[in-house]
Structure 1
Amino acid sequence: MDSVFVMPGTVAAPRGGILRDLHNRYETVREALSRIDKAAQEMGLPNISERLIEQNGTSDRRGPEVQYLEIFAVSIATHHMLIAEGAKPVAIVGQSIGELWALAAAGHLSVEDAARLAVARSQVLTRQSWDGKMLAVGVDGRRAESLAGLIDHPHLVLACENAPRQSVISGPEPLIEHVERVAEALDWPSLRLDVPHPTHTPAMAQAARDLRETAPRVPYGAGRWRVCSPWLGRDIGDDDPVDLVAGALTARVRMLQTIRELHAAGADVFVECGEWPVVTKFVEGSVPGVRCVVPLSESDPVEAVRALVAESAEMGPFRSRPAAPSSNGRGPVVPVREPVPAGAVATLPVAEVLIPATAPTAPVSYVAPVSDVAPVSVAPPVSAPAPVSAPALAASLAPAAPAAPVEVAPPAVAPVASPPSAGLDYETVLTELRTLYGDFLGYPPDLLGEDDGLESELGVESLKQVALLGRVSDRFDLPGLRANSALLTMGTLRRIADAVVQGRAEAAAR
């Protein structure tokens, strides 16, 4: 099997202690983390690896530079673990700033220089202090671009084409608010991406010039592995890293096209070098049935990699294989194109800023595919992001998304004519939620545990949760439920049922 390593871009700060086992096992991981710490110290930043090795808490939010270097540390450590266990990529792909991690992993530039360049990039973006936002929309790139074109502002653009039904729009915050309202009117799921620096728009031209003028020029070489650039639309060759990072700030990221081209060339396994499935969500949505592995999300990351390497050795390259079950104990790997209810696009799946339902907040980066939408007067999109953070890079024409396998959509939930009673008990609400979520997701209601993490265990991406929470809000006449972000970041049916019961009780008391 031919494997591609993928590096996430701007995602949530990693959990404390996430690299403890890798640090203890591998000398190459210890060396890479030591080099990142050394570069951080030279730039006046705190130790990067300490929290990732020793602590169990979440990030203390020490600023965007530290967040970027922590993401880099996780990506490069996972890469070294993969190589130490015998995994060999045919290519490495990075999403947005993840291209910088890919260059370091492939040996195009040193770990220290990659860290310095990441910090320089963050600093020029902070200095520009642009009042922009990135919005994930659950539609294809063509619709997303048309939506941005309706408003017709040079800085409001399609920033990322992540998957057939996930796009990211980047632009000034007031205009993003207009886009959100149009998307809501069309029942298109959308979600703002929580990234420190919105990018991939012409508005970043000044930051790009500043980076080219002030960033330290670093030595670079040919590298050990092929690095594919989703914004250049080609492999990286004798390209100066500073120019690459600066150019990406204003360019569109075409991850969808890059993934499909790699798959067409023989890649049948995509391994994410991050804590959560971000880029691999795009992969599953772009190439249904492809094998995706996220070692750090597995109960035993090293064993998951060893099993993959053993399977690759047994099957050999270019051999076809059926879709394999996930080794994380959370069920089979399925295409991102899950069944969705017929009708309005609101029922479409989406997500990309990831949020694990356990404790730490993961990056929202992916918007699950959505069913085709009937033409309407205005067409807004939803996407992720990619998290992230959402990367946008320029390249090639937007190919018409090949027809995905036809799936039978589960019946839409029938609207409830009568308003809900004021005093609902927990069990009644939970039963209704199981039916509503089960119908939407195509799951038998009795398989939906009240404490199952909606994203981490059931695979309900964040944008899809937004659409579902809207349905719950309408069903129980609780408009404020839509804005309860805690129900997304820590989503379980128990928490949602508790919120409904409490909300109805408060409504009755007024």
Structure 2
Amino acid sequence: MNSVFVMPGTVAAPRGGVLRDFHNRYESVRETLSRIDKAAREMELPNISTRLIEHNDTSDRRGPEVQYLEIFAVSIATHHMLIAEGVRPTAIVGQSIGELWALAAAGHLSVEDAARLAVARSQVLTRQSWGGKMIAVGVDGRRAESLAGLISHPHLVLACENAPRQSVISGPEALIEHVERVADALGWPSLPLEVPHPTHTPAMAQAARDLRATAPRVPYGAGRWRVCSPWLGRDIGDDDPVDLVAGALTARVRMLHTIRELHAAGADAFVECGEWPVVTKFVEASIPGVQCVVPLSESDPVEAVRALLGESAEIGSFRPRPPAPSGDRPVPVARVGAPTPAAPVPVLPAAAPVPSTPLSSAPPLSSAPPTDPTPPSAPAARAASVAQAVAAPVAVAAVAVAPVGSTAPAGAEYETVLTELRTIYGDFLGYPPDLLGEDDGLESELGVESLKQVVLLGRVSDRFGLPDLRSDSSLLTVGTLRRIAETVVRARAEATGR
């Protein structure tokens, strides 16, 4: 089987202890994490691996540089686990800054140099402090580009083509607000993306020049594995990594086209080297029925990979996850904390937290791992199509996630809240309330697309006077009426001091 490894960009802050098992099992993982830690110390940053190996807490928001390096550590450790277990990639693809992780995984540059370049990239973007924003729009790239062109500003552009019905527009914050209003008037679903460093727009030209002028030049070679660049539209060859990273800051990311070209050339399995299904969601939406696997989203990543490998005598046969209703839901992403430099550095104005996704895939928060999806059990009438929701690099507010299997609060209040939720969701979706089971997955079983879930959470937030509910991305990731009702009851109890 021809497998492609995909590297997410700025996604959720990894869970504490997420790499403990990999660290214990594989010498290659231990060595790689040690090298990332060494590079971090040389840049006067804390050890990256400690929290990922030993602790079971959330990120302490030590700045965007630490956040990026934690994501890098998870991606490269997963890559080494796959290689150690016998999986060999046909190609490696990265989303936005994930392309840098792909270069390191393929051996085009060293792990230490990739870490240094990631930090240099973050620093030049923070110095520019551009007042921009990104927004995901649930339409194809042609329509999204037309929408940006209607407003006509050189810095407002189609930034990412992620999937057939998910595009990302990047531009000045005031103009993104216009985009949101026009999209709403046209009936196009949209989701503003709170990112620390909006990119993929000509507005980043100064940051790109700064990076080329200040980033350490690093040695690079041909690498062991093929790396496909979604912004170059070709394989990476004898390309300077600094120029690659700098060029991507102003370029459009064409993930949709890269995915389809790889599939047309024979790729039939996509393996995500991250904690959550981010890029593989774009893959599933772009190539219906394609096989995807996200090892770290399994209860036992190593045994899952071994079992899948056992189904094929060649390189492993990857069992597809049960198909989602033709779209992708937001994955938990986290706000990347602001750096604390010695001298004052201007930073981006804080945007209102939104439920999310990435960059390119992005959102620092604590989130329970997703449970394995189960085949739809609801009637066929429930199978609604899903519009893609999450964009490339993205970050959202931290939220606490209740255990997936937690018991609903007892008492009349829970039943009252659940009844109201059934009415709100039933009226919006056109379902009889009694067909909405409290444990039905809103996406996996009811087919409620991500952006509709955002709208519905807003209605629930307004109904119960709980503004923080809008930023609870966990209710999108593993959303059920039971979990939403539990969250509402707990939040109301906390608000009244009960």
Partner of 1:419: none
Distance 1:91 1:120 in 2: 26
Partner of 1:449: 439
Deviation string 1:418-453 (CA, Å, 9 cap, x unpaired) is: xxxxx992342244357468767x999465417x6x
1:266-277 mapped onto 2 (5 Å cutoff): 266-277=266-277
Distance 1:457 1:89 in 2: 32
Distance 2:296 2:248 in 1: 27
Partner of 2:400: none
Alignment RMSD? 3.6
Distance 1:484 1:152 in 2: 35
1:275: how far off?
Answer: 0.5
Partner of 2:390: 384
3-state SS, counterpart of residue 109 of structure 1: coil
Partner of 1:282: 282
Q: Contact conserved, 2:8 with 2:274, CA < 8 A, in 1?
A: yes
2:483 matches 1:478: no
2:417 matches 1:426: yes
Partner of 2:401: none
Tell me which amino acid in the other structure corresponds to 2:40. A
Distance 1:85 1:311 in 2: 14
The percent of aligned pairs where both chains have the same amino acid is 76
Q: Contact conserved, 2:40 with 2:48, CA < 8 A, in 1?
A: yes
Partner of 1:367: none
2:357 matches 1:352: yes
Partner of 2:294: 294
Give ranges in structure 2 of 5+ residues lacking alignment: 329-354, 371-383, 397-413, 494-498
Report how many aligned residue pairs link the two structures.
432
3-state SS, counterpart of residue 153 of structure 1: coil
Distance 2:122 2:289 in 1: 37
1:4-403 mapped onto 2 (5 Å cutoff): 4-313=4-313, 324-326=319-321, 332-334=322-324, 336-337=326-327, 352-353=357-358, 359-360=366-367, 383-388=389-394
1:194: how far off?
Answer: 2.8
Bigger drift between 132-141 and 159-168 goes to 132-141
Partner of 1:465: 453
1:311: how far off?
Answer: 2.2
Partner of 1:375: none
Partner of 2:496: none
3-state SS, counterpart of residue 199 of structure 2: coil
1:126: how far off?
Answer: 0.7
Partner of 1:412: none
Distance 1:210 1:111 in 2: 22
Q: Contact conserved, 1:132 with 1:172, CA < 8 A, in 2?
A: yes
3-state SS, counterpart of residue 191 of structure 2: strand
Give ranges in structure 1 of 5+ residues lacking alignment: 327-331, 339-349, 364-369, 373-380, 391-422, 506-510
Tell me which amino acid in the other structure corresponds to 1:140. D
Tell me which amino acid in the other structure corresponds to 2:243. D
Q: Contact conserved, 1:74 with 1:274, CA < 8 A, in 2?
A: yes
1:173: how far off?
Answer: 0.9
Deviation string 1:126-181 (CA, Å, 9 cap, x unpaired) is: 11111111111111111111111111111111100000000111111111111112
Tell me which amino acid in the other structure corresponds to 1:73. A
Distance 1:205 1:355 in 2: 22
Deviation string 1:67-88 (CA, Å, 9 cap, x unpaired) is: 0000000000000000000000
Q: Contact conserved, 2:154 with 2:202, CA < 8 A, in 1?
A: yes
3-state SS, counterpart of residue 45 of structure 1: coil
Going from structure 1 to structure 2, the CA distance change for 1:138 and 1:469 (only over 3 Å counts) comes to same
Going from structure 1 to structure 2, the CA distance change for 1:447 and 1:265 (only over 3 Å counts) comes to farther
Q: Contact conserved, 1:145 with 1:157, CA < 8 A, in 2?
A: yes
Going from structure 1 to structure 2, the CA distance change for 1:279 and 1:90 (only over 3 Å counts) comes to same
Tell me which amino acid in the other structure corresponds to 1:333. P
Going from structure 1 to structure 2, the CA distance change for 1:62 and 1:13 (only over 3 Å counts) comes to same
Q: Contact conserved, 1:288 with 1:334, CA < 8 A, in 2?
A: no
Tell me which amino acid in the other structure corresponds to 2:246. A
Partner of 2:334: none
Deviation string 1:175-231 (CA, Å, 9 cap, x unpaired) is: 111111222233322222232211000000000000001111100000001000000
Distance 2:449 2:241 in 1: 33
3-state SS, counterpart of residue 220 of structure 1: coil
Q: Contact conserved, 1:163 with 1:256, CA < 8 A, in 2?
A: yes
Tell me which amino acid in the other structure corresponds to 2:323. V
Going from structure 1 to structure 2, the CA distance change for 1:102 and 1:80 (only over 3 Å counts) comes to same
Tell me which amino acid in the other structure corresponds to 1:360. S
Deviation string 1:240-281 (CA, Å, 9 cap, x unpaired) is: 000000000000000000000000011110000000000000
Q: Contact conserved, 1:438 with 1:444, CA < 8 A, in 2?
A: no
Distance 1:445 1:131 in 2: 45
1:495: how far off?
Answer: 5.0
Q: Contact conserved, 2:327 with 2:388, CA < 8 A, in 1?
A: no
Distance 2:123 2:232 in 1: 23
3-state SS, counterpart of residue 161 of structure 2: strand
Give the TM-score normalised by structure 1: 0.76
Q: Contact conserved, 1:14 with 1:52, CA < 8 A, in 2?
A: yes
Distance 2:16 2:490 in 1: 33
Going from structure 1 to structure 2, the CA distance change for 1:309 and 1:388 (only over 3 Å counts) comes to farther
Q: Contact conserved, 2:132 with 2:171, CA < 8 A, in 1?
A: yes
3-state SS, counterpart of residue 6 of structure 1: strand
Going from structure 1 to structure 2, the CA distance change for 1:22 and 1:124 (only over 3 Å counts) comes to same
Going from structure 1 to structure 2, the CA distance change for 1:295 and 1:503 (only over 3 Å counts) comes to closer
Going from structure 1 to structure 2, the CA distance change for 1:233 and 1:361 (only over 3 Å counts) comes to farther
3-state SS, counterpart of residue 253 of structure 1: coil
Q: Contact conserved, 2:23 with 2:30, CA < 8 A, in 1?
A: yes
1:492: how far off?
Answer: 4.0
3-state SS, counterpart of residue 33 of structure 1: helix
Partner of 2:351: none
3-state SS, counterpart of residue 313 of structure 1: coil
Q: Contact conserved, 2:138 with 2:166, CA < 8 A, in 1?
A: yes
Distance 1:130 1:254 in 2: 23
Distance 1:58 1:501 in 2: 24
